[in-house]
Amino acid sequence: MALSPSARTLLVRATALAAGASVVLMPPLAGAAARAEPAPPRASAPPDPALLHGPGVQVRPRPGAPALPDDLSALSWLVADSGSGEVLAAHNAHLGLPPASTMKTLFALTALPHLPRGGTHTVTDAELADVGEGSSLVGLDAGLTYRIPDLWRGVFLSSGNDAVHVLASMNGGWTQTAAQMQARARALGAADTHVVSPDGYDAEGQVSSAYDLAVFGRAGLADPDFARYAALTDAQFPGDTDAEGRPVWTYGIENTNRLLTGEDGVGVYPGIVGIKNGYTSEAGYTLVTAARRAGRTLLVTVMNPQQGGAFAVYEETRALLDWGFAAAGRVEPVGTLLPPPRPQRAAAAAPPAAPPPPASAAGTGTAYAWPAGLLAGTGAAAAAWHHLRRRRPRPASPSQTAGRGPTP
């Protein structure tokens, strides 16, 4: 009897579980993005997770692999295949550094599933009261009613801390949102991140890493709304609204990621699908971005270049993307963005073995041995699956901060 693809998948998982194997069930990437990713070249040696915890550059080139760019100055960077999760190369991947507005990737991953994707919200003075001094703003005004998608465009394009504060209030409050973000990071296997301020504003103890930001970017691409917002280059934002949130007049906002827009002489990267950039005085310039070429999507994180000025984060990202596409299939992975397997619980003591069947029933017992094992494995697979289951301030210019200092 022919089995459907889903039935074959369940059979494979059930058989593995029945044999005592560990099965990690990952949510699929969304729609066309999942179908477009080709199968990555088979690694001849499995990645060693410990490599990414070591200092300095980690790369395992095969013969003929291109050399890494020799002018990288970032304190930390990472190149990964988004489809497979394989890390192709990294430098200080788990170094804890201030993330600036790239922290908004984790905010969006956390709040998008908890908030309505449509509808409206009327902004209050209390929601805007604690926006940090010098923050980047999209220009929300207390008393006006906004459509929720407009608030998210304010987060992704203008890096608006005012929009983050409003959405966090809708999500249960600043403290609750930070706690949810922390839990979400751990669930994704991102152990370097400590959340204090969900908008990425400089705060004592707030850190993330090149590794964790790549994990957040990969998870974001699997959410169609996240991916759509992160890819927008520009939009019209309401300057005034009626009681239903319909714009009375609008003004233009533009994504601050210059690899996406091509502003200020930074060329648009071919195949870029966006994600998020940031800057604060403590974090320096940070960027997590993705690009697609020939059906393969690469993720690159760059944190705090030490040379080259305000646009070095884009040029170092460009160089690493070029290297990553040229190196596909020519390097062994040095790690993975996949969450570590859940620890296996100790098996319960087995019940006493049943007495053997009488000789006359031996054939019957043999005939049902494989289906019974399959059913037991299927039950285990199902259990595993269930377990994982006033007046407006003028709009901020692109030179205003995401925390303290100019946004890149």
Q: What pairs with residue 331 in β-bridges?
A: 61
| 104 part of the active site | yes
The answer to whether the CB of 322 falls within 8 A of the CB of 308 is no
Rounded to the nearest angstrom, the gap between the alpha carbon of residue 358 and the centroid of all alpha carbons in its chain is 59
Query: Could you confirm whether 276 is annotated as catalytic?
Result: no
Q: Is 397 among the catalytic positions?
A: no
In the numeric block, the tokens 């006493």 are attached to 352
Q: Per the structure block, which two tokens stand in for 51?
A: 């490599």
CA 393/CA 264 separation, integer angstroms:
25
CA–CA gap between residue 249 and residue 168 (Å, rounded): 26
Would you say 303 and 74 are in contact if contact means Cβ atoms under 8 Å apart? yes
Of residues 76, 82, 84, 104, which has the active-site annotation?
104
Q: Are 336 and 47 in contact (CB under 8 A)?
A: yes
Q: Which of 159, 169, 197, 209 is catalytic?
A: 159
Q: Phi, psi at residue 234, to the nearest 5°? A: -155, 170
Q: Are 51 and 58 in contact (CB under 8 A)?
A: yes
**Neighbouring residues of 184: CB distance < 8 A, sequence distance ≥ 6:** 106, 109, 110
The residue annotated as part of the active site, out of 76, 84, 101, 208, is 101
Catalytic residue numbers? 101, 104, 159
